[in-house]
Amino acid sequence: MKSYFYIYVLRSLKDNQNYVGYTTNIQRRIKEHNNGLVISTRKRRPLTLVYWEGCLNRQDATTREKYLKTAWGKRYIKNRIKNYLTGFTL
> At residue 44, what are phi and psi to the nearest 5 degrees?
-110, 10
DSSP H or E run through 51: strand 47-55
What's the confidence (pLDDT) of residue 89?
57
What's the confidence (pLDDT) of residue 90?
52
Could you tell me if 7 and 66 are in contact, meaning their C-beta atoms sit under 8 angstroms apart? Answer: no
d(CA 39, CA 15): 16
What's the confidence (pLDDT) of residue 88?
62
Return the SS3 of 18. Answer: strand
pLDDT (tens place) for every residue of the chain, 90 residues total: 788 999 999 999 999 999 999 999 999 999 999 999 999 999 999 999 999 999 999 999 999 999 999 999 999 999 999 887 777 655
What's the confidence (pLDDT) of residue 87?
72
Name all domains of the chain by residue range, CATH numbers in brackets: 5-86 (3.40.1440)
For residue 20, the cross-strand partners are 9
From residue 59, alpha-carbon distances to 29, 65, 69 in Å are: 19, 10, 16
The alpha carbon torsion through 88, 61, 38, 40 (nearest 10 deg) reads -80
